[in-house]
Structure 1
């Protein structure tokens, strides 16, 4: 009987193991799961293991909901406990499916104790973020990629690149992601990708979120301790790594810079809430099975490190908020600090140029028969080119409901005024800006924005909102509400109505009034005459002269170029 019992247990374990093999494992090493297979797999995990919790979350543009799959060794899924939380995102670009397949195996191996189980960490995974893109399955949209045989498409169901949508939130995907992110409040975020660009020997490259944007001791810890330690563990597994090679159409031999992940990108967004972030970028030209393997191993080592350093990471996260208090300076724009350079060992292939068989012109090629290892410059530091003083509060009129909606979604604390109130505020006028000539992710965005400032007393209405900067989301507020920030709501066209005048004048009517205005205001007349004398084009343009007088009069509408969000210093 004892032998029969042992045989029965063995058969059950064997059937379970076979039942939980992924499509990738059951295939030829060059096949990736479909969306239906992926969700079915996680449903089985959820059914069979109490340490796995599958939850249906908000909708995506495809009409399908996002899911999160959580693993907790003690079956406690309280994301606000003393445990660390790691959030893994997959399939933001479903043509880059390495993370989708790797995470399926990874979550199963946690549930079955096949790998070291974290005792102090809850692991949360989004199986597929861009569901619409994954359902748009094909074999040709990634012309530069070596497998798998079939995969999804980069654009989502509305053809948005979701890795440009984390601030503007045009997609339901982004809004549902923000709900997930605020719910699980991760200490570490991993966004799995596959690279484009140069050729080299590495299978694994990685974007460690820019440490200066992360800020303070937390950023230094990530740059100097945590990320190097994880990379060293990979090296011990014979997985060589290098920072993401941000080179397109050229050779990396002369060096390259750390990728600056502004808030439009996944880790740029998560950094705003002091989450450590990384973007594994496996190399497109390496075999799919090798790419999946290194993605898996990176997640293993990252989770091992976080699990061993929970207290330190959480303490540094909390301390980091002290760097962003009212009255302090906050960097809005950055550029590479070329004076600060480090040198890294780079394992590449000799590149060169030869005549193209197609055009006859010179084309780039890499010779895999000539590998090399040499030191190249790596620029890992940026310097701030524009800073702003952090205010105590922002005041947001209730009319700006699209902004209020996104602030609430991101758990920003806002307080409506209980009655009409006059407040002394710093007010911005949009002084200048440029607009892109070509559409980008559904927008003709602005850039090189500058503002002029004035101090005014303004009467705000009951129900308008006071938003304190003394909160966890202070960096989110600064990056979205300061017009000069790269990914501000202004630059993403949230406030374009203020750029257009709603009232104007008929010249033949305004002529007499313009003269009357100059006659009544000697200072204005002097300024007008001086401008005519010093500006030939202006002196010869009657329409421009009337417009100048109009814009310097009380008839000129106050709303034009008036930024409708105010600062309390």
Structure 2
């Protein structure tokens, strides 16, 4: 038998290929370049030693931070968790008194880098900024505000480093991996909170309750002129409308101005609708609680998703991130009390109804957009048709942006949810999120709404480590005897909307959707024909109305009429022997 040896591309020498396979980009020389220190500086960061073309390893990063923290009483570094591979996850606390952060009333800025550790701009920008605060002339930044900085959240992914991880990203030379050692994408894990890294982060959010939360990423996708883009759930579809209004009316214009003055071009988050025709427009997404800015919105922590443009050089992106972080500190020092009041107003709101999911409007907003010209090409080898970006600036005077602001799933907010005591995973998740609960000491009977699945489907392949579930439900009111140990989750609490998002099964990131309750779809008791047939005959003889209902059903349903098994199942479902928990959602609603 002939054996064919198949070589992967990694077997070839990539140096034989073109030096840069990415679209061309214009030279950049912004004012923020002066922030970069030369190699001879006593506190030069590891990335600056290479001219901001590389990023340090985990060990190199924390060697520098250990030295920096030891040099100043304004810094302290805490271990907030341990990764699946056993690496420590650290957070730097920076303030005039780090031990009083969260207690002294000063506004708190949380900056998180490396949730996707190939997108590591925030780490190197943060190291430079901390250096300039404690070893430069910027200590005044922390007079009226505190900073929490997580340099690397996905530490295992960070150490899965290589040159060929992100083919659509211009630097650094070595890049970490997008997912964790357990192959979980942390920025899809906020609601289900399965990763150890995410559980560590939730403890930080619960303990410190930051007033502003910045999550630093690098984009995928299209080419355009903007180098720093950022966004959040807008007031039109936010669960925290007061904070969203502050972000839209104060934060965005102030940061845009600061970035422009430093030589950068800030812009909106860009999610193209058609990979072959950019002129069709972009999405104005509503972010759900699986994502950082969706999660922050629903638990009333003003959260900004920063997406630096992957096609811009690493140096340019890092310096732009530095400017954004510095001016976020300045703005929070000035506006912190205003933002705290907005945040408190959102926490105190108790809406009677809640929109859980949105769909895009058919009517776009037309925006002015600084894009890049492109052309459609066909690859000679594969026949693939694709959009090639030319690097030439192109201004779209009226680019359509389709906002996701049309309600798709709406519910009346219940007074409370009742979680049965056997739902240990659900109760553990609620505790992780910091949601308040009370446990029933003795059994009692109350009128509750029970949900029964009428149509359901299961994912055919895993997504983020789970097989998701979707269903439609019939809702009935019943007197139900709750056992001792049942847990009441009131929606009359600051995290009430988060409780709804996790426990309402039709919500896009509910624990039900993430597949935490598969047992409700299984029946474990059975019957034998010799036992059920006499029961059916007896029921038909004694209950004339039920017999008539059966006859009418047979006339109306051809499938039922033609199947003896279906007829037996029809009767079985109406006998007292039928499993009364089958298809019943194991969480009850109190209105």
TM bracket (short chain):
over 0.9
* Displacement of 1:214: 3.3
Match of 2:346 in 1: 320
Match of 2:314 in 1: 288
Matches within 5 A, 1:16-165: 18-75=41-98, 77-115=100-138, 117-165=141-189
With over 3 angstroms needed to count, the CA separation of the structure-2 counterparts of 1:375 and 1:302, relative to structure 1, is: farther
Q: Among residues 461, 466, 471, which one is paired with 2:483 in the alignment?
A: 461
TM-score after normalising by structure 2: 0.89
Alpha carbons 1:83, 1:120 under 8 Å: kept: yes
SS, match of residue 225 in structure 2 = coil
Match of 2:429 in 1: 406
Unaligned runs of 5+ in 1: 1-13
Alpha carbons 2:240, 2:343 under 8 Å: kept: no
TM-score after normalising by structure 1: 0.92
* Displacement of 1:366: 1.6
2:257 pairs with 1:209: no
With over 3 angstroms needed to count, the CA separation of the structure-2 counterparts of 1:360 and 1:528, relative to structure 1, is: same
Alpha carbons 2:190, 2:292 under 8 Å: kept: yes
Provide the rounded CA distance (Å) in 2 between the counterparts of 1:530 and 1:236. Answer: 76
Provide the rounded CA distance (Å) in 1 between the counterparts of 2:209 and 2:329. Answer: 16
SS, match of residue 309 in structure 1 = helix
Alpha carbons 1:73, 1:117 under 8 Å: kept: no
Match of 1:272 in 2: 298
Match of 1:301 in 2: 327
Alpha carbons 2:125, 2:318 under 8 Å: kept: yes
* Displacement of 1:179: 0.7
Provide the rounded CA distance (Å) in 1 between the counterparts of 2:574 and 2:223. Answer: 59
* Displacement of 1:560: 0.8
Matches within 5 A, 1:424-443: 424-443=447-466
* Displacement of 1:384: 1.6
SS, match of residue 42 in structure 1 = helix
2:575 pairs with 1:549: no
Alpha carbons 2:53, 2:171 under 8 Å: kept: yes
* Displacement of 1:534: 1.6
2:547 pairs with 1:525: yes
Alpha carbons 1:350, 1:366 under 8 Å: kept: yes
Provide the rounded CA distance (Å) in 2 between the counterparts of 1:361 and 1:463. Answer: 60
Provide the rounded CA distance (Å) in 1 between the counterparts of 2:558 and 2:52. Answer: 72
Unaligned runs of 5+ in 2: 1-36
Task: Tell which deviates more after alignment, 83-92 or 241-250.
Answer: 241-250
Task: Tell which deviates more after alignment, 154-163 or 481-490.
Answer: 154-163
Provide the rounded CA distance (Å) in 2 between the counterparts of 1:410 and 1:381. Answer: 26
2:513 pairs with 1:487: no
Matches within 5 A, 1:173-212: 173-211=197-235, 212=237
Match of 1:219 in 2: 244
| Structure 1 segments of 4+ aligned residues over 4 angstroms from their partners | 14-17
* Displacement of 1:173: 1.0
Match of 1:536 in 2: 558
Q: Among residues 360, 381, 389, which one is paired with 1:336 in the alignment?
A: 360
With over 3 angstroms needed to count, the CA separation of the structure-2 counterparts of 1:552 and 1:228, relative to structure 1, is: farther
With over 3 angstroms needed to count, the CA separation of the structure-2 counterparts of 1:500 and 1:311, relative to structure 1, is: same
SS, match of residue 395 in structure 1 = strand
